[in-house]
């Protein structure tokens, strides 16, 4: 069984037992969270698609850790104009363990 959930402005296809990294969620490590923005639920060849959400479907997750992704380097340059700009960015994330999917 799998589900398509929406969190942090992105969509993820998840199944029970998987680990995923999502945009940072304000929760403590070890805390259980119920995600109710479920867009679709599938089981084998059957699929139930919501309009836009599936009624009564939830995904229970456990927060494993908080962290930061690798640095993304930004370099801007205008040729012949003596302009160079260097910048870096590290995005925060929350690692989740998918516990169960209920319909």
Each residue's pLDDT, cut to its tens digit, for the chain (103 residues) gives: 999 999 999 999 999 999 999 999 999 999 999 999 999 999 989 999 999 999 999 999 999 999 999 999 999 999 999 999 999 999 999 999 999 999 8
Q: Tokens for 87? A: 């910048």
Q: Please choose, from the candidates 88, 95, 17, the residue with its C-alpha nearest in 3D space to the C-alpha of residue 59.
A: 17
Those residues with Cβ within 8 angstroms of residue 95's Cβ, 6 or more apart along the chain or in another chain:
19, 20, 21, 63, 64, 65, 66, 67
Which pLDDT value is given to residue 26? 95
Which pLDDT value is given to residue 62? 97
- Write down the pTM of the prediction: 0.84
- Domain ranges in the chain are 2-102
Question: How many angstroms separate the CA atoms of 79 and 18, rounded?
Answer: 47
DSSP state of 37: -
Q: Tokens for 96? A: 């989740």
Residue 48 DSSP SS3: strand
């Amino acid at each position: 069984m799998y589900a398509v959930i929406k969190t942090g402005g992105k969509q993820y296809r998840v199944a029970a037992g998987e680990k995923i990294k999502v945009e940072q969620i304000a929760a403590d490590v070890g805390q259980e969270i119920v995600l109710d923005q479920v867009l679709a639920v599938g089981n084998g060849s059957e699929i139930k698609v919501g309009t836009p959400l599936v009624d009564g479907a939830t995904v229970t997750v456990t927060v494993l850790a908080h962290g930061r992704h690798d640095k993304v380097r930004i370099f801007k340059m205008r040729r012949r104009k003596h302009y160079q700009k260097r910048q870096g960015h590290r995005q925060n994330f929350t690692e989740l363990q998918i516990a169960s999917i209920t319909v």
